[in-house]
Amino acid sequence: MSDEKNLSDDLNDMLGDAKEGAKKAADKAEEFAEEAKEKAKEFANEAKETASEFADSAKETFDKATGENKKILAGILAILLGPLGVHKFILGYNKEGIIMLVVTFILGFITCGLGAGITGIIGLIEGIIYLTKSDEEFYNTYQVGKKPWF
């Protein structure tokens, strides 16, 4: 009987040790899971921040590139088609574009072309101004600052 009792005690000790080892393993696994969760959160936040910075940078680059294209297009159209105010429409100044059209056609008809000549000179001057400004200065003045004349 004593052998059975020793065997039973040994089995109970081994079972206790196994339970204790399993609990330690479970605790360690939980600890690793928490660390992994924290690292995943940090990584996600860094990824969001990087994506946001990239998006802002891309938008700024696109805006500047679009501003440069509008600068050249608006400058050339102002020189060539200044009396029609096409360059004003390109820059989003619809009211000013309509004013130039009205002055060119109505005032031009009444004054036998003098109105068209005046708007032609205005277009030529604006075209030269547009093309001689730096890209950044043009963008800040006419697209951000919305300065419609000269």
Provide the pLDDT for residue 4. Answer: 64
Provide the pLDDT for residue 58. Answer: 61
The first and second tokens of residue 14, run together, are: 């081994």
CB 88 within 8 A of CB 102: no
On average, the pLDDT of the chain sits at: 81
Q: Report the predicted TM-score, pTM, of the whole model to 2 decimal places.
A: 0.53
Please write the tens of the pLDDT for every residue from 40-73: 788 768 867 876 777 676 666 655 555 556 889 9
Please write the tens of the pLDDT for every residue from 99-137: 998 888 888 888 888 878 888 899 999 999 999 998 888
CB 124 within 8 A of CB 82: yes
Number of Cβ within 10 Å of residue 90's Cβ equals: 18
Mean pLDDT of all residues in 6-21: 74
* Statement: residue 145 has pLDDT above 80: no
* Helix and strand element counts for the chain (H, E): 6, 0
Q: At what angle do helices 114-132 and 94-102 cross, to 10 degrees?
A: 150
Every domain of the chain and the residues it spans:
2-144
The first and second tokens of residue 85, run together, are: 């105010």
* Phi then psi dihedrals of residue 147, to 5 deg: -90, 110
- Scanning 94-148, the segments in alpha helix (DSSP H) are 94-102, 108-110, 114-132, 135-138
